């Protein structure tokens, strides 16, 4: 069992909290929250969480299923995933944990999100280029990504087994068709329409321009 320190929590979403791995500086642990620790939401998903608790697990399961779908379709050794890899599950003192890659700076500090960089005015042209590279792979692999918000894209390096890999932008959360009616899973064209809408929203939040024809961001 992994023993996690609550002081090592680095992020929290509705369903899960993210912790530093206690023994491996290249990995993180996403822990499923207890139902009583989840924030109260008044939207459709929040209502369903309260009335039908099983729907909560469905949303988390959709992310794992999407990861498996894309990975099984791309077994080639040089496949460059636009998302952080899931490396298995572990029992922790705080609940069930999913081990994932950590995106870091060369000095070992955590990589910054696109949202944080945009808010502080630190988003560079190189950063936008890395984001565009990731977006192009998301479209190429037809990834179902239902929550492509600015805090789910992190810039930094992933460990490649022998040290830090190339600098890149990584989607660390928010993939999987979690909608009540899984429109994005019905056809490639419907998923691309959903991705177009998500990218347009991301552009508004980061004050970038989204070219829906080229499917690229710019200032």
In a 3-state reduction of DSSP, which class is residue 3?
Answer: coil
pLDDT in tens, 130-168: 999 999 999 999 999 988 999 999 999 999 888 899 999
Kindly list the structural domains of the chain, giving each domain's residue range(s) and its CATH number in brackets, ordered by start.
6-218 (1.10.510)
Per-residue pLDDT of 24-68, as tens digits, reads 999 999 998 876 565 555 555 555 555 566 666 777 888 899 999
- Based on the number of CB atoms within 10 Å of its own CB, is 42 exposed (0-12), middle (13-18) or buried (19 or more)? exposed
Inter-residue contact 210 to 202 (CB < 8 Å): yes
pTM: 0.90
Q: What is the CA radius of gyration of the chain?
A: 17
Question: How long, in residues, is the chain?
Answer: 219
Q: Which residues contact 61 (CB under 8 A, 6 or more apart)?
A: none
Q: What is the pLDDT of residue 158?
A: 97
Asked if residue 218 has pLDDT above 60, the reply is yes
Distance from chain centroid for Cα 61: 14
Residue 180 structure tokens: 């009540």
Q: What is the pLDDT of residue 5?
A: 96
For 169: left if phi > 0, alpha if psi spans -120 to 50, otherwise beta; the answer is: beta
Burial of 219 (0-12, 13-18, 19+ CB in 10 A): exposed
């Amino acid at each position: 069992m992994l023993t996690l320190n609550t002081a090592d929590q680095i992020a929290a979403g509705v369903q899960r909290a993210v912790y530093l791995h206690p023994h491996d500086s290249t990995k993180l642990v996403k822990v499923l929250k207890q139902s009583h620790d989840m924030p109260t939401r008044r939207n459709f998903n929040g209502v369903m969480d309260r009335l039908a608790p099983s729907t909560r697990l469905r949303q988390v399961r959709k992310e794992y299923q999407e990861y498996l779908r894309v990975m099984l379709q791309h077994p080639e050794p040089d496949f460059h995933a636009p998302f952080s890899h899931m490396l298995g599950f572990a029992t922790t003192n705080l609940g069930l944990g999913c081990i994932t890659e950590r995106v870091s700076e060369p000095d070992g500090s955590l990589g910054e999100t696109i949202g944080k960089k945009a808010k502080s005015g630190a988003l560079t042209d190189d950063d936008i280029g890395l984001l565009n590279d990731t977006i192009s792979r998301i479209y190429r692999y037809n990834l179902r990504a239902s929550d492509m918000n600015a805090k789910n894209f992190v810039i930094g390096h992933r460990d490649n087994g022998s040290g830090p890999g190339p600098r890149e932008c990584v989607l660390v959360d928010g993939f999987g068709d979690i909608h009540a009616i899984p429109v994005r899973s019905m056809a490639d064209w419907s998923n691309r329409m959903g991705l177009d809408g998500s990218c347009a929203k991301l552009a508004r939040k980061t004050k970038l321009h989204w070219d829906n024809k080229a499917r690229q961001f710019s200032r």
